[in-house]
Amino acid sequence: MKIVFVYPDFSIGARGKFYHGIASISSVLKQRGYETSLIHLVRPIRSAVLVERMAKESPDLIAFSATTNMFDYMCRYAPDLKNHFEVPTICGGIHATLEPEDVISSEGIDMVCVGEGEEALAEVCRLLEEGKDTREVR
């Protein structure tokens, strides 16, 4: 199973910084045998370009991480990715933790992760691989 993280990160003063949350989650997933990759957006791009980049990754799960100031960009990208790839999507990060209802009601998002995501996302991946329901994951 391959999880592709999408992290928009182009606020003034924040471009391209290392993000510990995704790194930690990716490490846990890799330890459990999953493949991960990151599309780190350091400037806005057209959705069509993101779709092309995602197609090269062949995701089984698309995982967004968004701060509040980048959330609008996630909202632009998620529907287009969801329309092109028949895979589940999840969004975590600061905005998801602070405003989970805002995130889960966004077009193109299937799941929201509130708080730390290492164990939760690993469980989601296991359940998806087994074809089981993910709705009861804490």
Question: Which residues of the chain form beta strands (DSSP E)?
Answer: 2-8, 35-41, 61-65, 89-92, 111-112
**Residues 100, 90: Cα–Cα separation, whole Å:** 11
Inter-residue contact 90 to 128 (CB < 8 Å): no
Q: How many CB atoms lie within 10 A of CB 21?
A: 17
Per residue of the chain (138 residues), what is the pLDDT tens digit?
999 999 998 866 666 666 788 999 999 999 999 999 999 999 999 999 999 999 999 999 999 999 898 899 999 999 999 999 999 999 999 999 999 999 999 999 999 999 999 999 999 999 999 999 999 898
What are the distances in angstroms from CA 55 to CA 2, 11, 62?
12, 26, 11
What is the value of pTM for the model shown?
0.93
Buried (b) or exposed (e) across 102-120, using 16+ Cβ within 10 A? ebeebebbebbbeeebbeb
pLDDT, tens digit, for every residue of 107-136?
Answer: 999 999 999 999 999 999 999 999 999 998
- The token pair at 116 is 């730390």
In percent, how much of the chain has pLDDT > 70? 94
- The token pair at 75 is 């909202």
